Structures are given as C-alpha cells and as structure tokens.
Amino acid sequence: MKIIAIESSCDETAVAIVENGRKVLSNAILSQADMHALYGGVVPEIASRKHIECIAALTEKAFLDAGVEKEEIDAVAVTFAPGLIGALLVGVGFAKALAFALGKPLIPVHHIRGHIAANYIAFPELEPPFLCLVASGGHTLLVDVKDYTKFEILGSTRDDAAGEAFDKCARVLGIGYPGGAKIDALAKEGDKDKYKLPRANIEGFELDMSFSGLKTAVINLVHRAEQKGEEIDKAGLAASFTEAVCDAIVPRTMAAAKLSGRKKIAIAGGVAANSFLRERLQNEAKSSGIELFFPPLSLCGDNGAMIAAQGYFEFLQGNEAKSDLNACATLPIDFES
C-alpha cells in the first residue's frame, strides 16, 4: 500500500511517499529555517505563506523522486495536529484536495505519533510495545507505545520542551536559530562542569520534567555577565546546559522503561539528534539490558516519511477523515480517534 503524506506543522514543508509504513520511496523536504533565523524563531505567518508557495511543487517532486504515478497512490495522509494553526491548515487543505482529486481516503495523523513512527522506517523489525522518549521543539514526553495507535503518557514536561530550551539557550548565546544542533557542536569543545545550573524535580511526579527554570538560569547568567562586562565561556555553557538537560531526561527515561516493564526504548523528535543524549542513553540502556532504537538524524527532524509511516498504521486501524477535517493547534497524543 502506497501512502503520500503531507507535513506542514511548523517550518518544514514535507511530502513523502512510503510503502506499507516502512519503505520510503521519496521524502521531499523544504526547510524555511534560514528565513526564520532572521527573526530568531519561527514567524507563524511567514511559515504559512511559504508552505503555500512550495507545497504543490514539492508534491510533484515527491512523485518524481519515487517514480510513482498518481494512480498508484492508495491513500493521502496529513499532519492535522498539533502545530502552528495556519501552517497546519495549508497542509490539511492541500491534502483534502489531493485525496478528493485522486478519489482516495484521507488519513489524519498526529505529528508526535509521526515522530515515533520514524523508528518503524529506521528499524523494520521494531514493533510495539516499547517506551518512547519524544523530545522535539514543542514536546518532551515519555510515552508507553502500547500499540501503533495506542499510547499512554507516563511523564512530560510541565512547561517548556527541551527543544525550546535548546533554542533559547542558543539565542541568548547569539549562535543562531535553530539552536539545538549548534549547541550540540559547541558543547563538544566545552567543560560540562564549568557552570552550575539547576535541575528541577516535581515532587510526587517523578517522571515529569521542567525546563523553564534551566532556560531562565542560562538567560540570567548571560545577561549578568554582559552587565558586568565579563566574558562567557560559550562552549562551557553549552556543555553545562546539555548536561543539565540530559540529567533531567536520561534517568526518567530509564525509570519509565522500568515502570512500564518495557525492554525496548525508542527515541524521537529533533532533540533525539543530540549526540550527548544519545551517548548517555546508550550507556544506560546497555547496562540495563535494554535495546535502544534511535532513528538516523534525517528522520529525527520533521519530515513527511514519518507521517506516511504512521498514516499506514492509522489506516489499518480504520482512522479515516472526511472532507470536514480541521487542523488543531494542540491535541494530546492519546486523543480519542
């Protein structure tokens, strides 16, 4: 079964064709990151307009790259939630028209479910149940993936996502947007013990996290240094910050696996690309006899292939949308279909 998927929830326009949820035939992506970098973050109106400009051409590219004719498509999947509402609406509107024109079913896909499904592409043998750490620009979640379309949230951030903290840290250090990959590279040259940064614990909710205090601590540290005319050790701060994020995420991920009795952990989302996080999780998993799965960097960030992959499993479950499908800015991963 060949599914074409449309993803436009943030600042990447992406269209992909995937066979049976696991085999990528094409994965066309156009990132707007350079444009938003001028403003230090995503400007929703610009994102929507850029999606409109390129979505049709990108769809043609997805067909060409895959060597697939339009008649060969069995269904159209689309990210309908969560994300920037204007940006999502572009994809949803386009996907509806495409499904109607092709006379094929329309499958609504939750963006975070898509991030998890990136693992099905990277690891054809991976099947639920497993524990998944989802760490993206907008979400930090510990999810028990009970089945392809059945999820239970075991822990989550109470405020900012880890990715948001990475981006803000990069911004205050003046190293650009998006900041995660840049902080990752800079941290490799720094001393993780250079700066003392806070670690938050939420009493009674051991699997929940909080990154806003850490983010504020970094901002205050940099501003204070600027006021005093002191030099910041940027690499040291990047390393200390990354260590604090890993200290929040790694032990909770292992604890969530233990609690749910899962012997497999997958990671997903843009922050899953972080090399320190990967290394620490790998070490912990090894010593606990847990199998760790992390998708290649190309599948960690937003892409259409992951939406097509999840779309396949949603379709098998009978989750189809009608032409009145609406976009939704916020929606939990365990929503009722």
Chain residues binding ligand KG4 by CB under 6 A are 10, 115, 136-138, 163, 166-167, 178-181, 184, 269-271, 273-274, 301-302
Q: How far is the CB of 314 from ligand KG4 (least distance, A)?
A: 18
The entry of ligand KG4, Zn ion, none near residue 21 (CB within 5 to 8 angstroms by kind) is none
The enclosing H or E element of 156 equals strand 150-156
**Cβ proximity to Zn ion, 237 vs 299, nearer residue:** 299
In 111-233, which ranges are continuous DSSP H helix? 111-122, 162-172, 180-187, 212-228
State yes or no: residue 160 binds Zn ion (CB under 5 A): no
**Cβ proximity to ligand KG4, 160 vs 208, nearer residue:** 160
DSSP 8-state symbol, 209: B
Q: How far is the CB of 266 from Zn ion (least distance, A)?
A: 15
User: Which residues in the 260-279 window bind Zn ion by CB under 5 A?
Assistant: none
Q: Tell me the C-alpha to C-alpha distance, in Å, between residue 9 and each of 157, 217, 228, 242.
A: 20, 30, 41, 26
Q: How far is the CB of 249 from ligand KG4 (least distance, A)?
A: 11
Binding mask 105-144 for Zn ion (x = CB under 5 A): -------------------------------x--------
Q: How far is the CB of 136 from Zn ion (least distance, A)?
A: 4
**Cβ proximity to ligand KG4, 138 vs 155, nearer residue:** 138
Q: How far is the CB of 180 from ligand KG4 (least distance, A)?
A: 2
**Cβ proximity to Zn ion, 98 vs 161, nearer residue:** 161
Taking 3-state DSSP, the helix, strand and coil percentages for the chain, each rounded to the nearest 5, stand at 45, 20, 35
Of 155, 302, 315, 333, the one binding Zn ion (CB under 5 A) is 302
Q: Which range, of 49-57, 145-153, 156-164, 300-308, touches Zn ion by CB under 5 A?
A: 300-308
DSSP 8-state symbol, 23: E
Give me Rg for the CA atoms of the chain. Answer: 20
**Cβ proximity to Zn ion, 184 vs 243, nearer residue:** 184
The entry of Zn ion, ligand KG4, none near residue 273 (CB within 5 to 8 angstroms by kind) is ligand KG4
Q: Tell me the C-alpha to C-alpha distance, in Å, between residue 332 and each of 11, 17, 115, 154, 329.
A: 21, 26, 14, 13, 10
Closest by Cα among 96, 97, 13, 99 to 48:
13
**Cβ proximity to ligand KG4, 240 vs 274, nearer residue:** 274
**Cβ proximity to Zn ion, 161 vs 235, nearer residue:** 161
Non-local (6+) Cβ contacts of 125 within 8 A are none
Count how many residues are written for the chain: 337
Question: In whole angstroms, what is the distance from residue 245 CA to residue 239 CA?
Answer: 10
Q: How far is the CB of 109 from ligand KG4 (least distance, A)?
A: 13
**H helices then E strands: how many in the chain?**
11, 10
- Partner residues linked to 130 by β-bridges: 145
Closest by Cα among 164, 188, 159, 190 to 178:
164
Which pair of tokens denotes residue 194? Answer: 């250079």
**Cβ proximity to Zn ion, 254 vs 309, nearer residue:** 309
Q: How far is the CB of 245 from Zn ion (least distance, A)?
A: 17
* Residues that bind Zn ion in the complex, under the rule CB under 5 A: 136, 302
